[in-house]
Amino acid sequence: MDLDFTADEEGFRKECRTWLEANVPTDELPSGDTREGFKQHIEWENELFDAGWAAVSWPKQYGGREASLIEWLIFEEEYYRAGAPSRVTQNGIFLLAPTLFEFGTDEQKERILRPMARGDVTWGQAWSEPNAGSDLASLTSTARRVEGGWRLTGQKTWSTRAAFCDMAYGLFRTDPAQTRHRGLSYFMFPLRTKGVTVRGVDRLDGDEGFAEIFLEDVFVPDADIIGEVDQGWRVAMATTGSERGLTLRSPGRFMATASRLIDLYHRHRDRSDPVLRDRVIQAWMDAQAYRWFTFQTVTRMMQGESIGADSSMNKVFWSEMDVRTHETALALIGELLELDEGAESAVDQGQWMKGFQFALAGPIYAGTNEIQRNIIAERVLGLPRK
Amino acid sequence: MRFAFTDDQQMLRDTVRDVLQRECAPEVVRAVWEGRPEAAASVWATLAETGVIGMTAPQDAGGMAMSELDWILPFEEIGYAALPGPLVETIAVGMPLLDAVGTDAQKTQWLEAAATGHAKIVVAFEDQAIVPYAASADVLIAERGGVAYCLPMSEVSAVPERSVDRARQLARITFEESEAHRMRSDVEGHALLSLAKERATLATAAQLVGLSRRMLDMAVQYAKDREQFGKPIGAQQAVKHRLANALIQQEFARPMVYRAGWSLATNQATAEVDVSLAKIYAGEAATFVVKQALQVHGAIGYTIECDLHMWMKRAWALAATRGDSAFHRERVGRHVL
């Protein structure tokens, strides 16, 4: 066990920090989940990619730096420490790309990865349907075989930033004779084309971060299926593993939030309250716990182990920690918590209430925490499914 | 950055696990509970033969001069088996302290005897009057007024106090703080005494992780076996989620404990805070797992007949000893805020 960073890792950290300190926009960008803010975030993504920071762990041929997982975690720590903008390319870089690396053809990787990482082509996920949420295998959208490809019909929902994105990916039934998780295929499809209607949906915090996607006989060529036809479930499950796991929410984000919380505590009007003090300490400790848990997990992965269902433990931990941390911040702010973003008297520009509302989505998205706990109980503890 | 134990460290863990699986079944813990501490004597002897008891002693005293990182996993196994006895006191605290601040006479008298399993050490830090396993120990190391003393138990008055975990064999001790029994108490000696406290806390935290694992294993097994409404109770989501929560708490405590072991072994500036984090997470996880395991067992878990209670009571005792959560949260708080 050696919990010191190597000289190379420290060097990498310094390089990250130097670049970020010189380049992170000094004024906070408007929310990336709004139409205007999205554009400004894409400009930032272009800049990140051109400097080689958009996807540090990727192979160099796709614009990455071939950084190790440890280095990727270091990059994330530095990224959030620097207060850099949220990543609107998230659904492409961290969710679709791992699937392409595992199941994609060379042609697909060549065509898709670089524009995805630069933000020139933006991606949203299209997993859920109105009647297929936690029970994803009950989805009803279909793909009909036609000359040279498929025609997609159906409705997807809760698609993050799909109102502004160019492309999306999701599952469609290619074999109507099959049910549940059999006979599904994994498609990439355009959002700005004939037959597609995208309707933005305002989230809890008021941003148009969600969208519904209506598809009517939308043509998709064979080249835009990932993996084999009818094997989409298996392909998709590989992605959900990374979504729940550390690639979606690395410790750097929560360490930065805990630091900001401590800063808020020091500015707080009444520091004598022992209950609030303890809650702030708890928030810092939990971020530490998540960090060391992650370094342990990543060491296992670097030794060639697969983490599998363990990623469900990550997801429950970080999502519930994030809610508690924001609740603590709001308790420190007191009655001023109701001042929204942009209000003159809002504490820290109202970011804590905004962040709290976003944190509340954590236990719901990427597989609800109820589903995660089922997975932990059944696949890690070995309890019977029924 | 590499967060993993070495092959040697894992092999030592496996050795301890094998010995305890063979020789420390719940019946052994129960026998100690019922007032027969000699039932665990052979376990101590086997652990001494395999070098586990002497692992922290210097090589010239028959030990292997091993560090905190080497004993973390063995203590987790000791917790898993709920093996009673002053193991933390002898292995993690006593022998390294004797070696560091003992007089030549004290070292000659006790170090090799302890390393080879012939003498058990108990420890009473400042303000600590109640000492576990005092009745079956041979030597006491005690801190009084900032000074450390080392004396044979024959010169200590030990009045038994009944403990909820009967296997802990508590006693209230008094002794005469005589010059003859003093250990080194210069500035360095004082620092080494502080280090000994951190080791005691960390080894206790490691045991708590093992206790949690065992209680969770028992509860999972019970949930698979016990049928109601025509199916195992573990098929019910309410039971599943309870046990999933227990696993999450336990698994997030483990790296905190391991990391504190590294910090102590490599003398990091943050070692004290890291030990506090380890104790907080391991103690709170264990007391949480206690409640989940009991609830899953239902009424049978609420009896002395079911083995679970021996692990529950050990967890309560260890979570509160060597600094409870409130104590360690205060230490972390001073560091963070």
A196: β partners: A215
Dihedral of alpha carbons B284, B285, B290, B294, sign: positive
Structure tokens at A215: 């598809």
pLDDT above 90: residue A280:
yes
Half-sphere exposure of A372 (CA within 13 A, CB side): 27
Looking at the structure, do residues A146 and A270 belong to the same domain, yes or no?
Answer: no
Q: Break chain B into its structural domains and give their ranges.
A: 7-185, 196-336
Q: Residue A32 falls within a domain, yes or no?
A: yes
pLDDT above 70: residue A359:
yes
Pairwise pLDDT comparison (A319 vs A304), residue with the higher score: A319
pTM of full prediction above 0.95? yes
Amino acid symbol at A288:
Q
| DSSP letter (8 states) at residue B170 | -
Give the span between the Cα atoms of A52 and B115, in whole angstroms. Answer: 57
Q: Residue A104 falls within a domain, yes or no?
A: no
Q: Is A366 left (phi over 0), alpha (psi -120 to 50) or beta?
A: left
Asked if B333's CB is within 8 angstroms of A5's CB, the reply is: no
Q: Residue A302 falls within a domain, yes or no?
A: yes
Domain boundary residue, one of A33, A65, A88: A88
What pLDDT score was predicted for residue A241? Answer: 64
Taking a C-beta distance cutoff of 8 angstroms, is the pair A197, A218 a contact? Answer: no
pLDDT above 80: residue A270:
no
Q: Shortest Cα distance from B117 to chain A (angstroms)?
A: 29
Give the span between the Cα atoms of A108 and A224, in whole angstroms. Answer: 8
Instruction: Say if B30 is an interface residue toward chain A (CB within 8 Å).
Output: no
Query: How far is residue A306 CA from its own chain's centroid?
Result: 20
Q: Shortest Cα distance from A307 to chain B (angstroms)?
A: 13
The mean pLDDT of A258-267, rounded to a whole number, is 96
Cα angle for residues B288, B292, B295 (degrees, 5° grid): 140
Instruction: Say if B226 is an interface residue toward chain A (CB within 8 Å).
Output: no
**DSSP letters of A281-343?**
HHHHHHHHHHHHHHHHHHHHHHTT---GGGHHHHHHHHHHHHHHHHHHHHHHHGGGGGPPTT-
We report the CATH number of the domain holding residue A357 as: 1.20.140.10
Domain boundary residue, one of A235, A263, A281: A235
Contacts of A342 (CB under 8 A, 6+ apart): A349, A350
What pLDDT score was predicted for residue A211? Answer: 96
What pLDDT score was predicted for residue B88? Answer: 98
Torsion of CA B292, B296, B299, B304, to 10 degrees: -60
Structure tokens at B61: 């005293």
Which residue, among A321, A317, A293, has the nearest Cα to A307 in the 3D structure? A293
| DSSP letter (8 states) at residue B273 | H
Give the span between the Cα atoms of A333 and A264, in whole angstroms. Answer: 8
| DSSP letter (8 states) at residue B168 | G
Taking a C-beta distance cutoff of 8 angstroms, is the pair B4, A299 a contact? Answer: yes
Per DSSP bridges, beta strands B130-131 and B171-174 are: antiparallel
What pLDDT score was predicted for residue A355? Answer: 96
pLDDT above 80: residue A248:
no
Cα angle for residues A109, A113, A116 (degrees, 5° grid): 150
What pLDDT score was predicted for residue A190? Answer: 98
What pLDDT score was predicted for residue A237? Answer: 87
The mean pLDDT of B57-85, rounded to a whole number, is 97
Looking at the structure, do residues A221 and A252 belong to the same domain, yes or no?
Answer: no
Looking at the structure, do residues A265 and A214 belong to the same domain, yes or no?
Answer: no
Instruction: Say if B269 is an interface residue toward chain A (CB within 8 Å).
Output: no
CATH assignment of B196-336, among 1.20.1260.10, 1.20.140.10, 1.10.10.10, 3.40.720.10: 1.20.140.10
Q: Residue A385 falls within a domain, yes or no?
A: no
Provide the domain limits for residue A182. 123-235
Set of chain B residues whose Cβ sits within 8 Å of the Cβ of A298: 3
Q: Which residue has the tokens 């002497």?
A: B54
pLDDT above 60: residue A243:
no
Instruction: Say if A283 is an interface residue toward chain B (CB within 8 Å).
Output: no
pLDDT over 90 percentage in chain A: 90
Give the length of chain A: 386
Segment A94-128, tens digit of pLDDT: 899 999 999 999 999 999 999 999 999 999 999 99
Domain boundary residue, one of A39, A63, A88: A88
Q: Residue A96 falls within a domain, yes or no?
A: no
Number of Cβ atoms within 10 Å of the Cβ of A178: 12
Confidence of residue A272 (pLDDT cuts 50, 70, 90): confident
Taking a C-beta distance cutoff of 8 angstroms, is the pair A101, A93 a contact? Answer: no
Structure tokens at A109: 């990787």
Set of chain A residues whose Cβ sits within 8 Å of the Cβ of B259: 3, 292
Instruction: Say if B333 is an interface residue toward chain A (CB within 8 Å).
Output: yes
Looking at the structure, do residues A274 and A173 belong to the same domain, yes or no?
Answer: no
Structure tokens at B170: 């508590």
We report the CATH number of the domain holding residue A35 as: 1.10.540.10
pLDDT above 80: residue A239:
no
Which residue, among B8, B5, B63, B9, has the nearest Cα to B255 in the 3D structure? B5
A289 → closest Cβ in B220, B241, B252? B252
pLDDT above 90: residue B33:
yes
Give the span between the Cα atoms of B266 and A3, in whole angstroms. Answer: 10
pLDDT above 80: residue A286:
yes
Segment A130-180, tens digit of pLDDT: 999 999 999 999 999 999 999 999 999 999 999 999 999 999 999 999 999
- CA-based diameter of chain A, in Å? 72
Class of domain B7-185 (CATH, top level)? mainly alpha
Radius of gyration of chain B from its Cα atoms, rounded to whole angstroms: 20
Q: Which residue has the tokens 């004597």?
A: B41
Element containing residue B326 per DSSP (H, E)? helix B325-336
Taking a C-beta distance cutoff of 8 angstroms, is the pair A56, A65 a contact? Answer: yes
Asked if B337's CB is within 8 angstroms of A266's CB, the reply is: yes
Per DSSP bridges, beta strands B121-124 and B130-131 are: unpaired
How many domains, in total, are found in chain A? 3
pLDDT above 70: residue A242:
no
Asked if A9's CB is within 8 angstroms of B2's CB, the reply is: no
Looking at the structure, do residues A260 and A370 belong to the same domain, yes or no?
Answer: yes
Give the span between the Cα atoms of A204 and A151, in whole angstroms. Answer: 34
Element containing residue A263 per DSSP (H, E)? helix A251-267
The mean pLDDT of B163-170, rounded to a whole number, is 96
Structure tokens at B268: 């990091």
Taking a C-beta distance cutoff of 8 angstroms, is the pair B311, B317 a contact? Answer: no
The mean pLDDT of B54-63, rounded to a whole number, is 96
Count interface pairs A-B at CB distance under 8 A.
Answer: 132
Give the span between the Cα atoms of B279 and B267, in whole angstroms. Answer: 18
Set of chain A residues whose Cβ sits within 8 Å of the Cβ of B280: 285
Give the span between the Cα atoms of A173 and A77, in whole angstroms. Answer: 40
Instruction: Say if A298 is an interface residue toward chain B (CB within 8 Å).
Output: yes
What pLDDT score was predicted for residue A238? Answer: 76
The mean pLDDT of A28-51, rounded to a whole number, is 95
Which residue numbers of A are catalytic? 243
Query: How far is residue B9 CA from its own chain's centroid?
Result: 18
The mean pLDDT of A274-286, rounded to a whole number, is 96
User: Would you call A173 helix, strand, or coil by DSSP?
Assistant: strand
Lowest mean per-residue pLDDT among A116-120, A266-270, A347-351, B320-324: A266-270
Segment B220-235, tens digit of pLDDT: 999 999 999 999 999 9
Taking a C-beta distance cutoff of 8 angstroms, is the pair B282, B253 a contact? Answer: yes
First to last CA, chain A: 41
Half-sphere exposure of B257 (CA within 13 A, CB side): 32
Looking at the structure, do residues A156 and A228 belong to the same domain, yes or no?
Answer: yes
Looking at the structure, do residues A254 and A376 belong to the same domain, yes or no?
Answer: yes
First to last CA, chain B: 27
Set of chain B residues whose Cβ sits within 8 Å of the Cβ of A289: 252-253, 255-256, 277, 281
Structure tokens at A194: 């004939």
Set of chain A residues whose Cβ sits within 8 Å of the Cβ of B244: 316, 372-374, 376-377, 380-381
Number of Cβ atoms within 10 Å of the Cβ of B333: 19
pLDDT above 80: residue B124:
yes
Element containing residue B258 per DSSP (H, E)? helix B237-265
Taking a C-beta distance cutoff of 8 angstroms, is the pair B284, B249 a contact? Answer: yes
CA distances from A108 to A192, A223, A224, A247 (A): 20, 8, 8, 22
Give the span between the Cα atoms of A112 and A101, in whole angstroms. Answer: 11
Half-sphere exposure of A220 (CA within 13 A, CB side): 32
Looking at the structure, do residues A255 and A287 belong to the same domain, yes or no?
Answer: yes
Confidence of residue A310 (pLDDT cuts 50, 70, 90): confident
Mean pLDDT of chain A: 95
Mean pLDDT of chain B: 97
Looking at the structure, do residues A230 and A301 belong to the same domain, yes or no?
Answer: no
Segment B252-295, tens digit of pLDDT: 999 999 999 999 999 999 999 999 999 999 999 999 999 999 99
B235 → closest Cβ in A2, A9, A383? A383
Confidence of residue B169 (pLDDT cuts 50, 70, 90): very high
We report the CATH number of the domain holding residue A205 as: 2.40.110.10
